Chains A and B, each alone.
Chain A
Amino acid sequence: MSTATVQHPAPTETDDFDPRAEGQRLIKDWYAQLETANARNAAVANVFVMGNAVEILRAFDFELVFPEINSLQTGVRKASEEYIRLSEDYGMSPDVCSYVKADVGLILKENEHPAGRIPKASLAVASNMCGTFIKWAEIWERWLKTPTFVLDLPGQRAAGWQVRPGDAQHAADARWVEAQFQELIVQCERITGKRFDMDKLAEVEARVNKMVDHWNNVMALNRQCPAPFNAMLDGLTYIGIMNVHRGTEEGVEFMRRLEEHLKAKVGRGEGRVAEERFRLLFSGTPCYVSMRRLVELFETWGGVFAYSDYLTFAAGGMDATDLRYDTSRPLESLAEVTALAAQRGLSNQFFAHERLAQQIKDYAVDGVVFHGIKSCRFVSSGMADTREFINKRLDVPTLYIESDLIDPRYWSDAQIKNRVDAFFEALHQRGGGAPLARKTVATA
């Protein structure tokens, strides 16, 4: 392991908001709240990060468990291998998604998680955003008798075709999704014994809108040189809050203060690293178990992840200005946004090259790093084509590394370090490597 240290600018005295500490506090509080949920007889729902109808569940005061986040947290806390091995001992194949295996390990450990005890859910909401979600929910259904509601969200139907907001297909998709929401509402009423309150849904959505506005501004701030945050370290904390606190007052406040904090940083000309030399884009899903180490390998060379498509992919459909709720018609609008976000999520590999080309331009990116996931071919299989496009058509250098979401057995430090070092040497030879303070970047 490297002992090289990366210099980070010291926080200034006038800015007392520490996004990392505040993010950790909010996550800790969330787990503490979950720990007592069953004792308080609170309704609890298992939901996934994508396609989850969280706004409806919040309107019924469900407390939310994100099994994907539970699993990644075992990785962050360096405990994932224990959970994964438990599930493999039970009989799960090494090829199965490591998030699922960590969750199965959690069940086998009777819900004892490093962050606290995870409550038993009264409902699980899954969707076809990932085929594994449905099989995963079936495990809860069979083992824990958790009632499951599966949303069918329309995705890609033809090559080269995308749903556009407001077109006839989008309207039809939204009606299809809305009808399913109506069914979900009936089920929520039955589980919680509460009547559905449309005004409350609108209130949740209004808070989500505020978060989206701040989020878009936060993302745009990283177009500045130097970038005020590292998308693959700081950014992961931010989207954690975007998901866990989606539609809460705490979530709005965090994002508001975050934007303020980052704006001030930009104003002072402070970057994530003392000397930003290469601006990078990270494409794919993180290796949560070694993310700090990975970022260190890049920052040692002055490379900062100015953008990551993961912050779009995993932000629960809260990443674009056209994904904003019309609170005057909350349910219809929720269906429209969900249908659109799902379509983009499901189709993202078909159009990844277009999306990345734009982001490379917007964020003045010098190189793109693809991270393939050993236990998730769904998010990794299109990378080879996208990489080819970026290399050959855009002449932007790329690097492909592979490990896993949270399985530390797939992390090979020497191999990854060698690739990263060679990547930077090649970037340098292309004429990169200058401090970027004077680089001109379009700002939002």
Chain B
Amino acid sequence: MYVAGIDIGSTYSKAILIDGERKVVGQAVRRTGFKLNQASEGVFEELLKNAGVAREDVTYVAATGYGRHTVAFRHTQVTELTAHAHAAAHLFPDTRTLLDIGGQDIKAVRIDGDGRVRAFRLNDKCAAGTGAFLEKTARYLGLTTADIGPYALRATKPVEVSSVCAVFAESEVINHLANGVPAEDIMMGAMVALGGRAVQLMRRVGLEAGYMLTGGMTHNAAMIKALEDNLKGKFNIAPNGLGQLNGAMGAALLGLRRAEKLLAEGKPIPPTAANLGTSDAPTRKRWSAMAGGCVKTR
């Protein structure tokens, strides 16, 4: 049995395929772009190709991320907070505080030993605490997203990028460049600023040791350093580049749990959202079922 988790984020779409033993058999990442339904279809096709698995062999699809409702072939959906928490508990059972830096938002989640969300905070609407802020800074410095980590690690004297507004921060970057500050010091300064905001968000959910970092920033050694320096602690990061796919992994794990339950009960796998004729919000019932049918009586 194969189960797919599809995470349609604001910047990247991620997909992961696991088998019945919860082993990862394929993964795919691609830019989301502005056509979200095409993004989900595209990343899924890529996933199947990478895994060498036929579409009809995928038993269940769980979607997450901002674009979760646009995945027409999903059986269920879950927010990325729940998905991340679930994957965190699976990969590093001692995780208590999780930080995910996405393209357009940043999430701090406090979880318990069973991967349940105890508290969460998201950044406010300002982009100054997000991956987009770093991308914008990098673009201005003529760097690609892949370059910025190694480049920033060359910094000897990071400068302060203090603005709380991503657009105003650009003015600061221009000002630093005009003053002859090396680009690597500016880039590292931007990462220190972002790291400070991210750790502050973690403090607001209550810092409990057992830290995990997820999202595209897990590929960025300079950003990890900036965060760990501020936190004065170490992050657990999923191996083999799975850090960026943590949300998709969580969705896949939740999907597998649901599929196993249905099969154990001898019930059929429900139709996908497309077959239900809706691409929008879940019904309450569907979520209860997905969580294991555990509608509890108080």
Contact = CB atoms under 8 A, between A and B. Distances in A.
Interface of A: 2-4, 275, 277, 300-302, 391-392, 397, 402, 412, 414-415, 417-419, 421-422, 424-426, 428-436, 438-439
A414 B296 contact: no
A429 B116 contact: yes
A417 B283 CA distance: 14
A438 B281 contact: no
A400 to B, nearest CB: 8
Contact of A415 (B81, B105, B120, B278): B105
Contacts of A438: 297-298
A430 B297 contact: no
Given A428-B291, A431-B296, 4 more contacts: A3-B281, A391-B119, A415-B122, A426-B117
A422 B82 contact: yes
The 4 A-B pairs at the shortest CB distance, nearest first, are namely: A4-B281, A422-B81, A429-B116, A426-B117
Given A421-B79, A425-B78, A302 B284 contact: yes
Contact of A2 (B79, B281, B298): B281
B66 A418 contact: yes
B120 A275 contact: no
Nearest to A392: B206
Contacts of B82: 422, 425-426, 429
B280 A3 contact: yes
Contacts of B21: none
Contacts of B119: 391, 397, 426
Contact of A426 (B118, B287, B298): B118
A428 B298 contact: no
B116 A434 contact: no
Interface in B71-111: 78-82, 105
A430 to B, nearest CB: 7
Contact of B298 (A300, A414, A415, A434): A434
Nearest to A3: B280
Contacts of B283: 4, 300
Interface size class of B (residues with CB under 8 A): 20 to 34
A38 to B, nearest CB: 43
A436 B296 CA distance: 10
Nearest to B278: A3
Interface in B236-280: 278, 280
B113 to A, nearest CB: 12
Given A412-B125, A414-B66, A429-B116, A301 B284 contact: yes
B297 A425 contact: no
B66 A275 contact: no
A261 B117 CA distance: 40
Contacts of B38: none
A430 B78 CA distance: 16
Contacts of A425: 78-79, 81-82, 117, 287
Contacts of B117: 422, 425-426, 429
Contacts of A422: 79-82, 117, 120
15 contacts: A300-B282, A301-B284, A392-B206, A397-B119, A412-B125, A415-B105, A415-B125, A425-B78, A425-B117, A429-B82, A433-B288, A433-B295, A433-B296, A435-B295, A436-B298
A434 B297 CA distance: 5
B124 interface: yes
Contacts of A431: 296, 298
A275 B285 CA distance: 11
A366 B21 CA distance: 37
Nearest to A400: B121
A433 B80 CA distance: 20
Contacts of A302: 284
A277 B125 CA distance: 30
Interface in B30-48: none
Nearest to B81: A422
B284 A2 contact: no
B284 A300 contact: yes
Contacts of A301: 284, 287
A438 B280 CA distance: 31
B173 to A, nearest CB: 25
Nearest to B122: A419
B86 to A, nearest CB: 10
